[in-house]
Amino acid sequence: MKDYELTLQVMLDRAVSQFGHKEIVSEEADGTTHRYTYDEAADRMAQLANALDELGLEMGSRASVMAINHHRHYELYFGLSCSGRSIHMTNHMLPDEHIVEIVNEAEDEVVFVDPAFVETVENVADQFETVEHYVVLDDEVPETDLEPIQSYEDLLSGHETDYEWPDIDEEREAGICYTSGTTGLPKGVAYTHRNIYLHTLTHSHIDVFKISENDVVMPVVPMYHVNGWGLPYTATLCGSKLVLPGPKTDSEQIAELIDREGVTITAAVPTVWREMASFYDERDDIELESLDRVLTGGSSPPEWLMEKFDKEIGAPIYQGYGMTEAAPNLVNTMTTTEVKEELDESGRYQQQMKPGIPAPGVQIRLRDQSGEEVPHDGESSGEIQARAPWLIDEYYKRPEATAESFTDDGWFKSGDVGTIDEYGYLEVVDRLDDIIKSGGEWISSIELENELMAHDAVEEATVISVEHEKWDERPVAYVVPSTDDVTADELRTHLRERYPKWWMPDKIVFVEQIPKTTTGKFNKKALRDDFDEEYDGLPLEE
């Protein structure tokens, strides 16, 4: 008798044996729509596994996948992991040198790549140290120097649609993903089958995201970043219809897909929903009728946006707080009984704006700079530290980063600053790196930027911390205006309604756009460097 291991095989088995007829819809690069079932997907995963055997890819070896969200990418999620290999979800938007570094560090032996990113790979392939095969995720191979190379369809073709999935220990690595690199070099996070299984099971818990077989799930968040927030796995375990938007990621296309496929739940970073909000106002023919709720995370969504989705679109935004290290979810929107009973509508609403309550199994604590526990009063802030059954306990091959990011008693140091209120709700104040330490007090860059973005004349805004001779650090805002005539004074007046004088940005820079990281976050590091270069610190001589 063999122990029952928590593996991706169990998830796939449920989809196939219970919901094999359910649909996976995938938008393709050429504008067509690909439709098939879990049954058919599983057949192709078996073909893939057989093909990888023939390629000589051993259990435990890794393959890099550089692709957007489509059915072949989905097949690689399970075909690689269920056959004992590991999928390295590679962000093709990383700078070349990062791609080289992580593919070499992960010792990827095969690179699966979308036709659209073949050029990206060509530029760096000569620096790859371990890659032995290239596979283009298509039915033909474009003009290229890469070799040996074949198309994914050629790779699969002729192989059996049966495969004897090997016994897999739940502690075996199923995939590896790198952090966004917002605060430095991306760090490798290797997920075991167990990590993913437990994250997935908790994802669909009634007090988390309640993802059901009855849902139609569309991850807009890229599958190369933290497993598309786990949604492809969750849809599989639940047997939900899965919609993969492929290249369709602008508001119009997303909205059309939601309406066409009856999507009930979708997920993306706040920027995507900010765009959708304006688009929704412009277009009368968009219904979003089927949409039940929208997941967001990765950065803090502004309040007006959450209100808009809840009240006008009728699909409340559920926030998740997490990170690559946690696969990613730790904390999520929830209305507790206490909040229901004790607060009025507006109070309840305020609570819903916060990331919320730790998911079952997750432990969260706040520590101040001397390592002391911070009171849960909604005011006092400290570093968010976490434990969870699916949180990694080390970075891949980065002992120094590991030592910095985990406490002696095994808690993960998120690098984020948060508060917990008397109802137990977590709020993210800022990143430790981004928070503005002004004259011994803290100013939240997130609060300021969200308040700026609540102003009608502001399209986007971000606030960074800049060194200051006297106050140590002071806030500087970068604003993309939506009209020509808005002034810095006007925006300061707006901010003063909510924040004290000493919170006011020392400078407001109007720009045409704000640089973003490859996962859609404001790139504050780049802005800080720019500011130093242009103005050489604060105070300014203006």
For Mg ion, the binding residues (CB under 5 A) are 179
Among 14, 398, 525, 528, binds a second copy (CB under 8 A): 14
Asked whether the beta carbons of 291 and 314 are under 8 A apart, the reply is yes
Q: Which of 53-61, 81-89, 228-236, 294-302 is the region at the interface with ligand ATP (rule: CB under 6 A)?
A: 294-302
85: its two tokens? 């290999």
Q: Which of 333-341, 408-416, 485-493, 507-515 is the region at the interface with ligand ATP (rule: CB under 6 A)?
A: 408-416
Separation CA 238–CA 247 (nearest Å): 25
Separation CA 298–CA 26 (nearest Å): 25
Comparing CB distances to ligand ATP, the nearer of 428 and 504 is 428
Separation CA 70–CA 74 (nearest Å): 6
- CA-atom Rg of the chain in angstroms: 23
Applying CB under 8 A, does 394 fall inside the site for a second copy? yes
Residue 17 binding result from ligand ATP, a second copy, Mg ion, none, given CB thresholds of 5 to 8 Å by partner type: a second copy
- In Å, how far are 113, 190, 319, 332 from 152, measured between CA atoms? 9, 25, 36, 38
Applying CB under 6 A, does 186 fall inside the site for ligand ATP? yes
Residue 414 binding result from ligand ATP, Mg ion, a second copy, none, given CB thresholds of 5 to 8 Å by partner type: ligand ATP
Q: Which of 83-91, 147-155, 328-336, 343-351 is the region at the interface with a second copy (rule: CB under 8 A)?
A: 328-336
Report in angstroms how near the CB of residue 201 gets to a second copy at its nearest.
6
Residue 442 a catalytic site member? yes
Query: For residue 416, what are the β-bridge partners?
Result: 431
352: its two tokens? 């819903």
Asked whether the beta carbons of 426 and 331 are under 8 A apart, the reply is yes
> Alpha carbon 271 to chain centroid distance?
12
The one-letter amino acid code at 86 reads: S
Residue 229 a catalytic site member? no
Applying CB under 6 A, does 382 fall inside the site for ligand ATP? no
Q: How many residues sit in the footprint of ligand ATP (CB under 6 A)?
A: 25
Separation CA 83–CA 38 (nearest Å): 17
Applying CB under 8 A, does 187 fall inside the site for a second copy? no
* DSSP helix/strand/coil, 62: strand
* The one catalytic residue among 109, 261, 325, 451: 325
Q: Which of 78-86, 242-250, 280-288, 337-345 is the region at the interface with a second copy (rule: CB under 8 A)?
A: 337-345
* DSSP helix/strand/coil, 24: strand
- In Å, how far are 49, 59, 61, 237, 439 from 164, measured between CA atoms? 9, 13, 18, 20, 64
Applying CB under 8 A, does 459 fall inside the site for a second copy? no
Whether a cis peptide bond, with omega within 30° of 0, leads into 316 is: no
Among 23, 215, 416, 451, binds ligand ATP (CB under 6 A): 416
Residue 437 a catalytic site member? yes
Cβ atoms within 10 Å, residue 281 = 11
Report in angstroms how near the CB of residue 238 gets to ligand ATP at its nearest.
22
* The one catalytic residue among 120, 179, 333, 519: 179
Applying CB under 6 A, does 51 fall inside the site for ligand ATP? no
Report in angstroms how near the CB of residue 486 gets to a second copy at its nearest.
43
387: its two tokens? 């434990």
Residue 339 binding result from Mg ion, ligand ATP, a second copy, none, given CB thresholds of 5 to 8 Å by partner type: none
271: its two tokens? 């920027």
- Which residues contact residue 392 at a Cβ distance below 8 angstroms, ignoring those fewer than 6 apart? 189, 190, 191, 195, 325, 326, 412
Residues 336-375 contacting ligand ATP, CB under 6 A:
355
Applying CB under 8 A, does 204 fall inside the site for a second copy? yes
Comparing CB distances to ligand ATP, the nearer of 83 and 329 is 329
Report in angstroms how near the CB of residue 34 gets to a second copy at its nearest.
20
Nearest alpha-carbon partner for 415 in 398, 430, 437, 400: 430
Phi-psi region for residue 424, left (φ > 0), alpha (ψ -120 to 50) or beta?
A: left
Report in angstroms how near the CB of residue 216 gets to a second copy at its nearest.
9
Report in angstroms how near the CB of residue 447 gets to ligand ATP at its nearest.
11
Asked whether the beta carbons of 504 and 469 are under 8 A apart, the reply is no
Applying CB under 8 A, does 237 fall inside the site for a second copy? yes
The one-letter amino acid code at 435 reads: I
Asked whether the beta carbons of 265 and 211 are under 8 A apart, the reply is yes
The one-letter amino acid code at 498 reads: R
CA angle 171, 174, 178 (to 5 degrees): 115
Comparing CB distances to ligand ATP, the nearer of 26 and 299 is 299
Report in angstroms how near the CB of residue 38 gets to ligand ATP at its nearest.
27
Report in angstroms how near the CB of residue 154 gets to ligand ATP at its nearest.
34
Among 182, 204, 234, 264, binds ligand ATP (CB under 6 A): 182
* The one catalytic residue among 210, 437, 516, 525: 437
* The one catalytic residue among 5, 33, 402, 442: 442
Residues 296-325 contacting ligand ATP, CB under 6 A:
297-300, 319, 321-324
384: its two tokens? 């968010």
Please give the positions annotated as active site: 179, 325, 437, 442
Residues at the interface with a second copy (CB under 8 A): 1-4, 6, 10, 13-14, 17-19, 21-22, 198, 201-202, 204-207, 210-214, 237-239, 241, 334-338, 340, 357-358, 360-361, 363, 387-389, 391, 393-394, 406, 410, 424
Residues at the interface with ligand ATP (CB under 6 A): 179-184, 186-187, 297-300, 319, 321-324, 355, 414-416, 428, 431, 519, 521
